[in-house]
């Protein structure tokens, strides 16, 4: 009887091991870097958007980050990035850039590509909370007066290594996904409003000219 129980137990362990091998370990929720889709008008100056780190899973330690975004549309120019993000800045209160560079985190010159880097001021880690979104960069950009309304300019992350997350001991943290954004160039609001006002005036004038129905 004892031998039968031991034999059955071994079979159960073998089957369990096979299932684990097939299913593999439970996957952590993905860590994603994202930019939004927004609208802008030709000639816009000092416009902005945020690059965010989305963490839907467990909390983790972060010591530094590097990011690189670009657009192929030459009528849009990334000027700089700062730490003044809408979501809590990831290194708020412990930022190398806030300490030495007054909150400016971009490292590249104005153009169609923006590179940014920041780390903790004390060379330690900060805790990125579970189920949270934190800010990485508040990007300032301009739109040339010659930008064509109807143009959509993609804001793309560099996938060749320009974006990274690391702990203070330089252990890399996997970025599971990138959500590219876009800038939709739209006509000046004043032009659209003028057209709408003119159309409304024309409709009223035509209505007044219609003869009364007897």
Sequential pLDDT tens for the chain (214 residues):
534 433 444 443 343 343 333 333 333 579 999 999 999 999 999 999 999 999 999 999 999 999 999 999 999 999 999 999 999 999 998 988 765 555 677 788 899 999 999 999 999 999 999 999 999 999 999 999 999 999 999 999 999 999 999 999 999 999 999 999 999 999 987 655 555 665 665 565 556 555 555 5
**CATH says 30-208 is which class?**
mainly beta
As given in the structure block, the two tokens for residue 38 are: 């927004």
d(CA 45, CA 207): 42
Domain ranges of the chain: 30-208
d(CA 190, CA 198): 12
The number of CA neighbours under 13 Å toward the Cβ of 174 is 7
The single residue listed with the structure tokens 């057209």 is 195
């Amino acid at each position: 009887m004892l031998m039968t129980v031991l034999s059955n137990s071994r079979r159960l362990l073998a089957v369990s091991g096979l299932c684990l091998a097939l299913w593999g370990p439970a996957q952590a929720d993905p860590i994603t870097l994202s930019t939004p889709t927004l609208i802008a008008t030709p000639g816009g100056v000092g416009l902005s958007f945020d690059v965010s780190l989305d963490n839907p899973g467990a909390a983790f330690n972060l010591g530094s980050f590097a990011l690189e975004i670009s657009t192929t549309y030459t009528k849009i120019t990334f000027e700089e990035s700062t730490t003044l993000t809408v979501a809590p800045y990831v290194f708020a209160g412990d930022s190398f850039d806030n300490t030495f560079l007054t909150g400016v985190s971009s490292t590249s010159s104005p153009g169609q590509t923006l590179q940014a880097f920041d780390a903790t001021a004390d060379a330690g880690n900060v805790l990125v909370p579970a189920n949270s979104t934190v800010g990485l960069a508040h990007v300032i950009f301009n739109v040339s007066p010659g930008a064509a309304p109807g143009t959509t300019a993609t804001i793309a992350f560099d996938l060749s290594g320009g974006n990274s997350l690391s702990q203070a001991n330089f252990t890399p943290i996997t970025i599971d996904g990138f959500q590219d954004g876009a800038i939709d160039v739209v006509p000046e609001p004043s032009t659209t409003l003028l057209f709408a006002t003119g159309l409304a005036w024309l409709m009223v004038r035509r209505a007044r000219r219609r003869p009364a129905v007897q």
